[in-house]
Structure 1
Amino acid sequence: MTQTISELLEAAADRALPVVRGIDDGQLDRRTPCAEYDVRALVNHLFQVVVNFQALAAREEADFSQEPDFVTGDWRGRFGAETARLVEAWGVPGA
């Protein structure tokens, strides 16, 4: 059975959410296997991809050149909300 993009994104979000929610603020400056990113930079990168792919689903322009800091306030909860919006955006016919 072929899965839709929305279904694939939902499966990816289901795996990513517990990992992201499990990150303690004290871990944000830790290294990752990718030399370019510490944990904060990697989470920001994930946010950037999620937000920009929402725009792409709506056939809007996406700007991957900006590097905003999404890791503020309730960023864990916001990541869950943004991934839910991403899944919904790609579930719209024509996306």
Structure 2
Amino acid sequence: MEEYLPLIIQLVSGAVGGNIAGSLMKNSSLGTLWNSVAGILGGGLGGSLLSMIGLGTDGGMDLSGIVGSIAGGGVGGGVVMAIIGIIKKAMNK
């Protein structure tokens, strides 16, 4: 179970990051459910990308690993939600 905990933290913080980005960008918001879904995808991608370039967690659950998972997931979730929201807004024009 301990090896999955960083991923779970990244997914949850991605959902939070997606909803925060949606609340800050009212015109590009997808609604709470889809902001969460986009954020979860972004959280997983953000954490994976950070791990690949050596900035993410190595599976350790010390304080720096937890903070890294939260930051990577939150930022990734916000970025993916913003990108999807901007694309959706452009398609509706």
TM-score range, shorter chain: 0.3 to 0.5
Structure-2-length-normalised TM-score: 0.34
Q: Which one has the bigger helix percentage?
A: 2
Structure-1-length-normalised TM-score: 0.33
